Structure 1
């Protein structure tokens, strides 16, 4: 591979923003890809994938390069040189790179690869809590979460069948394959910009990970029911609920943030989903109005996001251990407050994109011993590990309210 100066400079600029200014990797990459209109898909692919790759392996590369944060421009070039050397790329004779001790880099890599926190490039605290909660499984899981996430689409059954969508995408030079056990899903064989396709503009699909596609089905909503999505965000699962309900009945999509619900409205229009009513949660009154009113309630709870590190590698460096303590408290409060919206005989699904039992089955267990929790019975749960599924780590529990 021959390195091009303008592309590498873009990567260095992006790493500076992510590592030193706390910017989110996805936002930085989006901005970088608009930097030069002359760049082709291969150029943009290099910038995006190299930036994400170095973010993912930051600790390992920095340790090999013997640099510490905050990283100077010289430090970032040293980290880049480590990345290139480990991939067998011949480094050009640029003054920014200087002399790179190739043999020493490879020797240091072999040495550090025997220590999990360096091999998997994670903070000490994350390695400790992963081992504490998952035991021997942690080795496989963190290794799987360090692989690039696949791109998975969900065919929008309000407008198209999965087979027809696959055919249309093929006409647009995008090849996909079916995934056994995921009836609405198509996985891209090669990465591509699916958002520029006519199929996307027509609302024929959403980009949604395979594990995420299981949540709405786990709730099993029926046409004509009243369903509440309590932490709807921009509405990925809300739109899936609408499709499963065939646009019949009512979905109340709730969130604390107006801007997320605004995005949901836009996506719903494109998808042709007409039974969604977005509502901002401004106070506890908005929740109390709905006590005992819902046939089904989905709580896609805020969480550590440890199950989605493969698509959000910079979360490894932004997440802090004290946040975990706070989010567990928040999860418990949300479960207790939002469960009251389920009517007798109705169902509740509690879900997270975390792999930690303390955020998942332990939360459900504690809830069922609370006053409101005693009104529910545990029906079933599903634990999804990235190392076993190839998709995001997820958890979901189905609870039924007694009549």
Structure 2
């Protein structure tokens, strides 16, 4: 994992420049639109993961002519305009359809449940109704409607739509598309993916050891390289709960588990996580998987052999690089960390160590053979300045100690944007955070095969 130096504050997600106004593109020509939006990565990844852009189900309205007509009133009316669009859209097309403002002068609509022409006509009618509500009849002007492709991590590719001739090839007006995951509706449980607005699949299994009954739920968190804010892989994440009442075990409770029980939890999480990864297509899996397990688990020769063999076999099958994450290193002597790292390093690309978010503890990982330090985001509510100071201190300590700094479990992309500016080199997001506020709880499937 390469180190990323702290950058001068700019736009939160990437270094953005406004797309220069251009004349209306010729038929068949495309134009680029840089996304000046804090959630640029979320928008691009959602388009790519669900394939709705390539299947002709994503459209953009440019609001330039409306803005010109409103003149000085635009600043006061901006929020009302976007609220009006959102209400009209969601009234007709609930989840998994999705809409969002772009760059304060464009509006994006994704309609995977409608045929392309039907969706385009809806967007056009929405434009007419919007204009009629705010400025009156604008039917004499061309409708500024474009189809959309996700071109880069911060860039869309637009093509002007002529509704008179817009008949996408192979378009089925009433049939919902299938995402890259290859499912629609109830097929999600068989496939393990998630389309826009559909629930991420989480696999849960109960286990018992020495009179203790637990439930281990596993998911795959997206892992981002922060310098370019690009998705590079996934992390096999576990949620460990009491089987009786689903009480979630926190970091301290996990550290206090019997070592034999913790070993069972880690192996079960890895088994379930690998199953979920194998259900994804190669392009969805990106290039890396982060495989976490406790220090005590890696210290067990039996568990270490099983994990390294199974992970190495799965990595070869899926063409992925492996990053082992050794958890629970608080208080472990440096020579013992170095010993375990040397035993597992031949079976992976690199190893990082996971500790509590404390600069003194992070400093203790120096000269342990690790290439990075991993900490969990504590979930505390902070404004952006305080969050940047907090993460910056951790990133600086990690850089001195081991090089890279990975923060796990962010709640939203805004936090990741601040982390990027603070010097964090890699980050993951909680699976639940990837769902829109309207989405239900993640789908949980009991895995009887474990």
Larger RCO of the pair (alpha carbons < 8 Å, separation 6+) = 2
TM-score exceeds 0.5? no
Identify the TM-score tier after normalising by the shorter chain. Answer: under 0.3
Bigger proportion of residues as strand: 2
Larger radius of gyration: 2
TM-score by length of 1: 0.28
**Greater share of residues in helix:** 1
